[in-house]
Structure 1
């Protein structure tokens, strides 16, 4: 076997920890255009991205698409941990929220404030994780660190928040070995509906932008 025949290692696809009942989380997963594995993990259900999105470009980045998807009310609340474009990205899903709230961290820079994104604060992450309130100061200090790699920052945040699944950030394939794991491949109908909805949304924005 030549080096060209050796498959590339799986790109980490991100980890979502959802606090809702397993059946509700799997119901949410059923609408995904990203292949994932779900499994019970302590008091959480973990959802791990395992491949590229099945949607058309530019929505074929599995981590970005999974990170942007809001947990359903009954599947949440929850937290997400992703490495996207060389940054550590954390997502907060609060009860009844209609949008994801974000924490974005970059090596060498620390916390960023990307325009147009609703940002989550340290207290919100601590509350969603169910960690002791005193953990907030430790989390703030950690997020001021700028000299680690994104995946290590994600793992450190998860450990600080006393969350399970830190190894899944770098080794998403381990999700398949968890007890009760279920692999979920996107339903082609869901992919078609997603692509159609995105196309219609872009077309509508263009048409509205052309109005006087």
Structure 2
């Protein structure tokens, strides 16, 4: 297995079906400093810094990138992430109002249930990847098995699905890669919005003497 990603940023990869120029514009509207590269019909994206530019608790760069909605015209978008000791595979399907889907894998267990997240099945993963030659049973076998590390699983899935981006996933860099900085103005606007929401929630709780949810129940 390759060495750790540069600067200790962790391991993550988004594959977007849009040009680097289009993906770069999208990244500049986000919260994460990123590295992107053209990859055989996809644009690959990973984080270039461990921490997002936004304030805590929304400052874990890989988690922010994994959860960020992709532009509708660039879908399906696939994600491969090593998050908190788990392998996380995501698909943002094409189509209106289709929620992002998730498959979460743990060592010694395999795929685990995620009741709060729409589940990604093997057919949906194969369709998003355009992996006509991939064997569904092979992909399912990797996800069921608890063998290996999260990065092992992600790299194996990329290979089975015939997808590019292994270098970006493992090392955070590859030939043709370039870095993209998020807009400072956009980050400040996001932080201001989060702070305003937190203040409103605190004021509500102070007024009702409990949580916002408790207060809402009392008004019914």
TM-score grouping bracket, smaller chain normalisation: 0.7 to 0.9
Q: Give the Cα–Cα distance (whole angstroms) in 1 for the partners of residues 130 and 83 of structure 2.
A: 25
Q: Decide which moves more: 91-100 or 31-40.
A: 91-100
Q: Give the Cα–Cα distance (whole angstroms) in 2 for the partners of residues 157 and 197 of structure 1.
A: 38
Shift of 1:47: 0.9
Q: Residue 65 of structure 1 corresponds to which residue in structure 2?
A: 64
Shift of 1:204: 5.4
Contact 1:70–1:98 under 8 Å retained in 2: no
Q: Decide which moves more: 161-170 or 122-131.
A: 161-170
Q: Does 1:184 align with 2:180?
A: yes
Alignment of 1:1-212 (within 5 A): 9-51=7-49, 52-96=51-95, 97=97, 99-132=99-132, 134-172=134-172, 174-175=173-174, 178-179=175-176, 181-203=177-199, 207=204, 208-209=212-213, 210-211=215-216, 212=218
Contact 2:134–2:160 under 8 Å retained in 1: no
Q: For structure 1, list consecutive stretches of 5 or more residues without a partner in the other structure.
A: 1-7
Q: Give the Cα–Cα distance (whole angstroms) in 2 for the partners of residues 204 and 157 of structure 1.
A: 44
Q: Give the Cα–Cα distance (whole angstroms) in 1 for the partners of residues 118 and 168 of structure 2.
A: 26
4+ long deviations beyond 6 Å: none
Shift of 1:203: 4.9
Shift of 1:166: 1.5
**Residues 89/204 of structure 1: CA separation in 2 closer, same or farther (3 Å cut):** farther
What's the secondary structure of 1:56's corresponding residue?
coil
Shift of 1:9: 4.0
Q: Give the Cα–Cα distance (whole angstroms) in 2 for the partners of residues 87 and 142 of structure 1.
A: 14
Q: Give the Cα–Cα distance (whole angstroms) in 1 for the partners of residues 34 and 42 of structure 2.
A: 16
Please report the TM-score for the alignment, with normalisation by the length of structure 1. 0.86
Q: Residue 4 of structure 1 corresponds to which residue in structure 2?
A: none
Larger Rg, first or second structure (1 or 2): 2
Corresponding residue pairs, total: 201
